Amino acid sequence: MSETCADFLSAASTATSLRVRPVKHLIDGQLEGSESSFEVVNPSTGGACATCPEGSRDQLDRAVAAARRAQPQWAARTSAERRKLLCRLAGVLREHQAEVAALITLEQGKPLARAVDEVQRAASQVERLTSVVLDKEVLRNDSTGRVELHFRPLGVIGAITPWNMPIVLAVPKITHALYTGNTVVLKPSPYTPLATLRLGELARHIFPPGVLNVLAGSDRFGQWMSEHTGLDKISFTGSVATGKRVMASAAVNLKRLTLELGGNDAAIVLDDVDLDEAIPKIFAAAFANSGQVCMAIKRLYVQDKVYEHLCDALAELARSARVGDGFEPGVQLGPVQNRPQYEVVKGILEDVPRARARILAGGRALDRPGYFIAPTVVGDITEGTRLVDEEPFGPVLPILRFREVEDAVMRANDTRFGLGGSVWSRDIDRAALIAARLEVGISWVNHHTGADALVPFGGAKESGIGREYGKDGLRQYTETTSVFIPPDP
C-alpha cells in the first residue's frame, strides 16, 4: 500500500524522531556499503542526522564497468520499452513520495510541502520528457539520394548533482540518459545524498543490473568521475567554479558535457507593471527554497516610479515570512543548506553596509541553531557590490533602481552569468521584445523560474554549456551519424 505524507509523518512527526534507514550505494543491481563513511547534517539543527557510505575509487570503477556491460542490451531495447520502465520509476517515486520528501526536508531543509512538490515534479518530468519522440530525421531526399540523421546513445553517462534540489535535478538526468539508450552512474552532493540513494534503492528492481548505478561520494569522487575514461559524458549541475574543473578534467577523453551552472538572474520591472499580481510572484521567485534556486531572481531592477512601492511591499513580505525547520507546519522558508554556504551569505551581508545600501528587511543570521538567515531585502544598492555582482544563493534580494529601460537591459546583461531573466509589464508585446534581448538561456514575461520538460533549459555565457529538456536536451545525450544513401538505380 502506498503511504501518504500524513501516515509517514504521524510515525515521525519531526526531524528528531525521523528514523533514517541505512542508505547504500546501488552498484550493478546490488546495494553496498563502503569502508568509509561521512555524516549528513540536518541544516535546521546543525547536527548530524545520518551516516552515509563514502564511495571508493574501486566502487566507482566497478559501477562504470557494470554500466558499460549493461549498455548494449539496454540500447537494443525500443524507446517505448525504455519509456515504460522510466514511467515505472515515476510511479514508484509517487508511491514513496512521503518518505522521499521527508528525506529531502531532513537533509536539505526545505518545507515538507515543497519537498513533496519536488518529488511530484520529478515524476511528472519523467513522463513528459519521455513523451518526446527522437526518431531519425531525413535531411534530404531527392534525385541525388537520401541523407538521414541517426541518433546513437553515447554510452555511459556520469551524472553529478548539487544540494539545492537533489531529486528534481537527478531524475531528469537519469531520464535523458536512459531514454536515449545510455546507462548511468549518478553521484549526488555529499551534503544531500540520502534521498538520491533511496531513489537508487527504489529503482533497483525496475532496471536491469548496471543500467542505473547510484553512489554517494565526496567532491574528489566527482573529480574521479570527470576524469574517468570509462564515462562518455558528464551531465553536471552545480557551481560555475566546479563546472570549469569538470570541463578541464573531462578533456582526458573528450567527454561530452552538459553543464548546468550558477546564475545571477535579473528581473526588470517596468513602471506599468500590475503591482498586485507581480509582488507575490516576484517574492516567491526570489525567496523560494530560501533563494537556493539556480534561476531565482537575484537582481531586481525596478523603474523609478514604482521603486519605493515595490521595496516596501517586498520588505513587508520578507518580514512576515515564517522561517524555520521544514518539518514545522506553516513554515515557508527553511535554512541555508550547509555551513560553507551560510558563511558565504553572511559574508555578502557584512559587505552591504560598506556599499551604503539600505537594509529594508532582515540583514542578519537568526540567533538559533542551524543555518538560518532572516529573509533580507536591500534597497539603494548598485553594481560593484558583492550582493549584486556575485550569486548569493541565499535568502537575500538586492533591488536596483533604473530610469531608462535601455539602461536596465544593459546592466542586466553586464555579467558573466546568463541563466535566466524576466521582464514585468502590462504591455506584454513590449516586454516580450525586451525579454528576448536578455543574454540568457531562458527568459520570461511576468513570471520567473520553472523548467518545462518539453522546452530546452540551460545557461548562456558562464551559466553553462548545452541544454537539458525537450528534443534539444535529449539530442545532447546522443551522437549523430549522417548516413548518405544513394538513389535507387
* Binding positions for ligand NAD, 133-162, rule CB under 6 A: 160-162
406: β partners: none
Nearest-approach distance from CB 223 to ligand NAD, in angstroms? 4
Cell 546568463 appears where?
A: 418
Q: Which amino acid is at 300?
A: L
**Contact residue for ligand NAD among 34, 45, 130, 226 (CB under 6 A):** 226
Distance between CA atoms of 403 and 406, rounded to whole angstroms? 9
Q: Which among 28-36, 56-64, 203-211, 240-248 is the span making contact with ligand NAD, rule CB under 6 A?
A: 240-248
Strand partners, 420: 442
CB 449 within 8 Å of CB 295: yes
Catalytic residue among 294, 311, 462, 468: 294
Nearest to 43 by CA among 12, 15, 20: 15
Among 43, 111, 190, 334, binds ligand NAD (CB under 6 A): 190
Number of residues counted as binding ligand NAD (CB under 6 A)? 29
Task: Return the number of the residue (115 or 359) whose C-beta is nearest ligand NAD.
Answer: 115
The answer to whether 307 and 408 have CB atoms below 8 angstroms apart is no
> Which of 81/219 has CB closer to ligand NAD?
219
> Among 59, 183, 189, 415, which residue sits at the site for ligand NAD (rule: CB under 6 A)?
189
x/- mask, ligand NAD, residues 460-489, rule CB under 6 A, reads ----x-------------------------
Choosing from 54, 118, 260, 391, the catalytic residue is 260
Contact residue for ligand NAD among 109, 155, 262, 326 (CB under 6 A): 262
Check if 294 is active-site.
yes
Among 107, 265, 391, 462, binds ligand NAD (CB under 6 A): 391
Please say whether the dihedral angle defined by the alpha carbons of residues 300, 462, 258 and 457, taken in this order, is positive or negative: positive
Q: How many CB atoms lie within 10 A of CB 214?
A: 29
Which residue of 34, 45, 235, 242 would you call a contact of ligand NAD, by CB under 6 A? Answer: 242
* 289 touches ligand NAD (CB under 6 A): no
Q: How far apart are CA 51 and CA 73, in angstroms?
A: 35
- Whether 306 and 314 have beta carbons less than 8 Å apart is answered as no
Cell of 73: 542490451
Q: Does 219 bind ligand NAD (CB under 6 A)?
A: yes
d(CA 133, CA 137): 11
87 is catalytic: no
Positions marked active-site = 260, 294
